[in-house]
Amino acid sequence: MKAKFTNLKRFHKQILMILSDQIVIIFALTLAFVLRFGDIGESFNYMSKNWWLFVIIPVITIFFFIRSGLYRAVLKYIGARLIITTFRVTTLSSLVVILLLFFYDPNQFPRSVLLTFWFVSNVLLIVSRFIFKGILYSWDSFQLDKKNVIVYGAGKAGVQISESLKKSNEFRVVGFIDDDQTKISTIVNSIEVYGFENLNHLIKDKIVKSLILAIPSANQNQRQEILKKLSRFPLEVKSLPNLDDIENDLVTLDQIKFVEVDDILGREVVLPKKELLQKTIEGGKILITGAGGSIGAELSRQIKDLKPSLIILLDNSEYNLYNIHHELTITNGVKVIPILSTVTNYNQIYNVIEKYNIDAIYHAAAYKHVPMVELNVVSGVYNNVIGTYYVAKAANELKVKNMVLISTDKAVRPTNVMGASKRLSEFILQAFADQNSKTCFSMVRFGNVIDSAGSVVPLFRKQIKEGGPVTVTHRNITRYFMSIPEAVQLVLQSGSMAKGGDVFVLDMGDPIKILDLAYRMIHLSGLKPIDNNNPDGDIKIKFTGLRPGEKLYEELLIGDDVIQSKHPRIMQAREEKLSLEDVVGFIDMIKKSRDNQDESIIKKMLLQTVKGYTTEFEYKK
């Protein structure tokens, strides 16, 4: 019956509610007569004489209900407005009837019946509405198929979201958690408030799998601290946006989002310096290599927002290039041109820069997956090093104003070919910069970005979704993490501060232990890791051993010679360089290695050229 009613069309529901109200009004009028006279026989005698009241009062009352818009209100969301409207309408209809009685033999009808009717009808109409609402919606909280939810934060946002959840068919709020000691053990919106120390008990006692963080006024550090505490519990954590993102101070279910890893790893936002962002971009013609990759795509998005006159997207992946080009051209504005090319095609790179008179180049094209490059040494080094050399050479010859290389922390004392190839790429730009070039060459070095193609985060997310195991290479392995948008913002600002040959190093914060990251991601998915403390957990963590070329710890600086830049999150490193003659020498060796498909030539060159590079490879002198 309930399902049939809730699935009815809105018009049919309104008809049923009108019929229901008519029955209630007639019953209220009958009861008013009985209460007035105390004798059923005498009551019916008066009712028969005044039968017209049983016609006119329901008609007038229903008419005023319709005019007041009561039947347009959705039953599921009725509240205080219903009470006010009902009182107003019954009062008005009673006054109309009293006025009519002055013209229709007033001696036959005691006025006190109308006063009793006014009181009884108000009570019955209001109670009947809330009973319907309770049966059809609010009392759903007793359904066994609803998910028990805890709301963290018993303030205004928490109350609003709990009220919305009460009306949903999916969730049941079983408690608030709040850090304010004055709220603990109180009842807010018919729900008890608990302290954080009671969370574990609530999870077990109420069988809770989900928690909603409803503290939009908290800053990034406060949110991170709370999420860090919550990540110890097997809860699927969702969150409301920050206060600035909530319109009209009103919280709705649509605003709830899943807590992502960057919410835990994220840092207090440092607002970008607008003048640095716009300096080399606004009104310029920009070339982005590797534009379809994680970093390249975000570079493309942010650069478009800075209003250049032209963006050239260059990538060797047709699929990736199509996606980012399609995304940027959905809305009108900046002209965007896709170029399907590899950066190792010098003639095409030269022609593109010349044809479009490029002002600035952001070189993000590279093979970045450490084990993949380790297994494909010749292809990896040729693409990363020769590609950088050709882009820098063309930029230098055509006097491009700025070129920024996207480097990596793996270029510091590299134990892998990928990192060593990026260090060689840095040498290339430094060498061109030392030639009194008209181009301002610079490079930006940073660690892992969350959700990039080669990041561990999407891998863990996929493994958790599939039920595990989550694979961690080593118990003690650590990495630096930064969100892609923040990294790109800092890259753009670094390029604007460059004077030539600069090595910028981004402040990545503290390194994160990958095992801790795995535990947090499992817990935030509402699951338990299988370990000695939880043998009956949900997801197993499997240690696979370090992969070829992989380090336990990454570094951002080769030496200690570093200075602070104009931006608090950007430093400048002063490191050793190679001459352009030396650069041309290793470029020739890489080309020779590719022609002969002999990776031993490259590994020997890397050992001789890149400080700190180590490998298991042995070669004869």
Confidence of residue 249 (pLDDT cuts 50, 70, 90): very low
**pLDDT confidence of residue 548:** 73
* SS3 call for 475: coil
**Catalytic one among 133, 285, 410, 551?**
410
* SS3 call for 440: strand
pLDDT value at 441 more than 90: yes
Q: What percent of the chain has pLDDT over 70?
A: 80
Lowest-confidence region among 66-70, 77-81, 590-594: 77-81
Say if domain 274-449+482-508+555-609 classifies as CATH 3.90.1150.10. no
Confidence of residue 561 (pLDDT cuts 50, 70, 90): low
Domain ranges of the chain: 2-136, 141-259, 274-449+482-508+555-609
**pLDDT confidence of residue 247:** 47
Tokens 């390029």 found at:
495
Instruction: Supply the DSSP string of 154-207, one letter for each residue.
Output: -SHHHHHHHHHHHTSSSEEEEEEE-S-TTTTT-EETTEEEE-GGGHHHHHHHTT
Ranked by mean pLDDT, the top range of 116-125, 243-252, 452-461 is 116-125
Same fold, 141-259 and 274-449+482-508+555-609: yes
109-116 mean pLDDT: 73
Residues facing residue 440 across a β-bridge: 402
Q: What percent of the chain has pLDDT over 90?
A: 26
CB 449 within 8 A of CB 294: yes
410 is catalytic: yes
CB atoms within 10 A of CB 219: 12
First to last CA, the chain: 88
Q: Options 3.10.20.30, 3.60.110.10, 3.50.50.60, 3.40.50.720; which CATH number does 141-259 get?
A: 3.40.50.720
513-528 mean pLDDT: 82
Name the phi and psi angles at 602, rounded to 5: -65, -45
d(CA 457, CA 464): 11
- Judged on CB neighbours under 10 Å (0-12, 13-18, 19+), 215 is buried
CB 336 within 8 A of CB 360: no
CB 213 within 8 A of CB 226: yes
